[in-house]
Structure 1
Amino acid sequence: MPRAGIQAAQPALRFIPPDYSRWVHWLCRAALPWLLRSRGLVHFETSGSESLATLFAEAQSGRSRLLIAFRHPSTTDPLVMAQLLWREVPRAARRHGLSLKAPVHSQFLYDRGIPLWAGDAAGWILSKLGGIPIQRGKLDRLALKTARDLFAHGPFPLAIAPEGATNNHGELLSPLEPGLAQMAFWCCEDLAAAGRHERVLIVPIGLQYFSTSDDWGAIDRLLGRLEDLLGPSTATVAASSSAVSELPANPDQAPEHRYQRLIALSEQLLTLLEGFYQLRDDGPAADFFERLSRLRDHALAVAEDHFQLSPRGSVIERCRRIEQAAWACIYRDDLDELSEVQRSLADWSAQEADIRMGHMRLAEHFATLSGSYVAEKPSIDRYGEVLMILWRAVAWIRGREEEHPPALGPWRVRMAVAEPIDVLERSGAYRRDRRGAVERLTTELRERLEAAIG
């Protein structure tokens, strides 16, 4: 496992207030083409940009408030959303004779952990773009209050990824968190309290990434690199599955051969991790994803036992609670009050918390793996998505997260703006049954996002 990154207790995490700056926005907009190319994003397909431009015109005229709900399959999504709002929507507006006031922009929620690994400069830029940091594993009242106020009264729409985190799958939607629907109903209440009559609209946006190449060589090279990293046993497992490192002489056998290599690779990684955690071997009859589920549960339990947390909820929910418990040990507001010995013990506690959080990070890497995702559609993109999950997990275990895998891009990006959901029409049902209305609205949003990536 990687070494503990935290060597001493840190001052408490402060809230980074949104502080929109037009000149920082202008600089980021100017740098956007270079940033997109640096991530291999070379072609953009947009459907529904005209309707989104119309919605922005309506919002700018004071007739509606917009809540943009975007899919979150990749860490490049913020750049893609910037391309959509800063460039595609204004272009669509000009084509259709719509007058939009500059800038076309949205404020957004982002994970408070991003500046911890990306640096203080990232936190500063996100703040200057109007970002609102939220700690995901707890009821972050200040972040929610700030987002709620800006949604109802701020100068821009609000953008939220309802999946809560990247899931690394272009054609598979993770469970949606109910917070977005709740935020929409709060906005209806706040507008009514202020005597305002704007519509409150949720705009679902699907994002997907597709390789621009049909060359399977990059997939095979990534398979080979992972096989090398996992060691000789992979070749043994591959051989038992009728898979070897070289491609078969008959090209018609290549797809089956490649899939067997993927299965063998996954089996080997799982076997190594089971050995690390000393999990009992259930033999060859044990289902792979039953074993994976057991591994995730065990890794999470190691952390939960340390922080005295109960194992309830989904894998992602458990991960967020563990993260918050670890942060409570690492980032403290009482450091100035501690004696020298107490401070040393606080440092020790912070290191222990960071190590325990590492077990959660391991489980998190495998949180979105699906048993039939590649088998039901063995495309280059699905192979690439699953292999990149495995690559990131292996790189994290090795402490080499900065190491780049064999390139699978460049990428074509598809952005689909779905039909908006009028929340005001559902506010009466919310007053009668708040929980039920939030659940129904979340379900409807899920259906529209699934249609957008279908």
Structure 2
Amino acid sequence: MQRAQPKLDFIPPSFNPHILRLVNWSLPILQRLRLQPWLPAGISKIETVNRETLVNLYHQFQSGKIRLILAFRHCEVDDPLSGLYLLSHTIPKIARQQGVTLKAPIHSHFMYDRGMTIWAGDWLGWLFAKIGGVPVHRGKNLDLQAIKKIRELLIDGQFPLVVAPEGATNGHSEIVSPLEPGVAQLAFWCAEDLAKANRVESVIVVPINIQYHYINPQWSKLDRLLCKLENDCGLSTQAVISTEKPEELYYPRLLRLGEYLLSEMEQFYSCFYHRHLPDLAQDGISQEENLTLRLQKLLDISLQVGEEYFGLQKKGNIIERCRRLEEAGWNYIYRGEPTEFKNLSPVQRGLRDWIAAEADLRMLNMRLVESFVAVTGTHIQEKPCFERFAETTLILFDAIARIKGTKNPRRPRLGWRKSRVTIGEPINISDRFSTYQKNRRGAKQSVARLTQDLQTALEAMII
């Protein structure tokens, strides 16, 4: 982004059943096309566990007995395909088998990051609006327009609401990042708004996990990807020919790549940002544990560089710091109304463009951190399966692509996958509402407890 832009306006949802029908009709085609060379790996099969639970919840919702929030894990970009297929194909099919009458369409409103339209284009905002999406500025303390619309949909919307409780993708099927309190707070607000309106519906939150598995692990494709990354890093390639115990052959290569990238980035921030990175070597810890310590320190330093430029204080966990940095950068780039830009002098416009370009550059520090937010040096060692090798290698691919200057890298394909969608046990918020109502402390504790319960539920569904 080299030029200043008008501010990012709120895109109001304007649901159109014909557009949704077209999207649902195209889903099987889209899933197959995911294996084309220019797109990520495809999903050939979607399994659903405890799907009868969701059928029952939708029946209660349409009968006016409950208001429903689906806390759906969003670990990577392919997740919406599985979610849409679950609602538009699987749930209607199971309902018919059970003799349960559901009113079509079976769908959901959903929240999405307003920044998605920046890298994908305005067409995505139009499409999301037509299928019931609500854009949210993730880094704002209170996105008042979004919150107002979401609270309206929670008590009067035609469909349940889908929310990603982690707030961002982390690239790992088997690691749930610390949840943000947004789902819990929305649930209690919904209960509060229903009580004010003297309505008796219960508020239900259901955790939904999604996990990916490669149907036929293609170690040869992983080998080619590792060779490419080794070439990008100037390392000698170590192509693997033997197919016996591949996890023992590929693990040292990933460790070598990780060690190289860490060393290069440590020197980068030390030399050009004048940051002191202490020697974290400790007796009695493994190489993997040492890499984890060094990575966490590097991510902290990288965020500090951005925070100092934008005048932000170091506050919260890594994800929260990333969100604030993103919002600060947007505020430097997306400024003012369109009419205001027309009245700028060339000098004023030039200065705005200057600041926009520098803000975009400074935000690269945060984007680098986003790539590694859930990476540890021990994740593969704990369970050396193909999925963990593939996910970690693809995260390295993303990071190296960003360093090389590719802002939206297209991931190479590593084979057919299946997604496993697990419906968790519903949580009745109305049972907790009396504690939430007591006082501010009770409200804070209720939100924290519900957030932790969701975290535990999502982690328990990982196999």
TM-score band by shorter chain is over 0.9
For residues 243 and 137 of structure 2, the distance between their equivalents in structure 1, rounded to whole angstroms, comes to: 53
The alignment partner of 1:115 has SS state of helix
CA deviations over 1:36-67 (Å, ceiling 9, x no partner):
12221101111111110111011001011110
1:221 and 2:229 equivalent?
A: no
Match of 1:368 in 2: 374
| Mean CA deviation greater in 100-109 or 444-453 | 444-453
TM-score normalised by the chain length of structure 1? 0.93
1:8 and 2:3 equivalent?
A: yes
For residues 73 and 434 of structure 1, the distance between their equivalents in structure 2, rounded to whole angstroms, comes to: 29
Match of 1:268 in 2: 260
The alignment partner of 2:186 has SS state of helix
Q: How do residues 307-322 of structure 1 correspond to structure 2 at under 5 angstroms?
A: 307-322=310-325
Shift of 1:195: 1.4
Shift of 1:406: 4.0
Match of 2:182 in 1: 179
For residues 321 and 256 of structure 2, the distance between their equivalents in structure 1, rounded to whole angstroms, comes to: 29
1:113 and 2:125 equivalent?
A: no
For residues 248 and 280 of structure 1, the distance between their equivalents in structure 2, rounded to whole angstroms, comes to: 42
Q: How do residues 383-422 of structure 1 correspond to structure 2 at under 5 angstroms?
A: 383-401=389-407, 404-422=410-428
The alignment partner of 1:11 has SS state of coil
1:199 aligned partner, one-letter code: S
Match of 2:199 in 1: 196
Match of 2:244 in 1: 251
For residues 365 and 243 of structure 2, the distance between their equivalents in structure 1, rounded to whole angstroms, comes to: 43
Calculate percent identity across the aligned residue pairs: 45
Pair 1:307–1:48, CA change in 2 (3 A): same
For residues 214 and 392 of structure 1, the distance between their equivalents in structure 2, rounded to whole angstroms, comes to: 21
Matched-pair contact (CA < 8 Å) for 1:67–1:201: yes
Pair 1:343–1:50, CA change in 2 (3 A): same
1:33 and 2:28 equivalent?
A: yes
For residues 114 and 242 of structure 2, the distance between their equivalents in structure 1, rounded to whole angstroms, comes to: 51
Matched-pair contact (CA < 8 Å) for 1:392–1:401: no
1:80 and 2:82 equivalent?
A: yes
Q: How do residues 334-345 of structure 1 correspond to structure 2 at under 5 angstroms?
A: 335-336=340-341, 338-345=344-351
Shift of 1:407: 2.1
Shift of 1:360: 1.1
Shift of 1:404: 4.1
Match of 2:354 in 1: 348
Q: How do residues 6-155 of structure 1 correspond to structure 2 at under 5 angstroms?
A: 6-39=1-34, 40-138=42-140, 139-155=142-158
For residues 160 and 353 of structure 2, the distance between their equivalents in structure 1, rounded to whole angstroms, comes to: 42
1:449 and 2:455 equivalent?
A: no
Shift of 1:403: 5.1
TM-score normalised by the chain length of structure 2? 0.91
Provide the alpha-carbon RMSD of the alignment: 1.8
Matched-pair contact (CA < 8 Å) for 1:248–1:257: no
1:62 aligned partner, one-letter code: G
The alignment partner of 1:251 has SS state of coil
Matched-pair contact (CA < 8 Å) for 1:373–1:382: yes
Pair 1:105–1:249, CA change in 2 (3 A): closer
For residues 411 and 307 of structure 1, the distance between their equivalents in structure 2, rounded to whole angstroms, comes to: 41
Q: Give aligned pairs, total.
A: 438
Unaligned runs of 5+ in 1: 1-5, 236-243
| Mean CA deviation greater in 374-383 or 29-38 | 29-38
The alignment partner of 2:358 has SS state of helix
For residues 33 and 202 of structure 1, the distance between their equivalents in structure 2, rounded to whole angstroms, comes to: 29
Match of 2:364 in 1: 358
Matched-pair contact (CA < 8 Å) for 1:274–1:295: yes
The alignment partner of 1:407 has SS state of coil
The alignment partner of 1:10 has SS state of coil
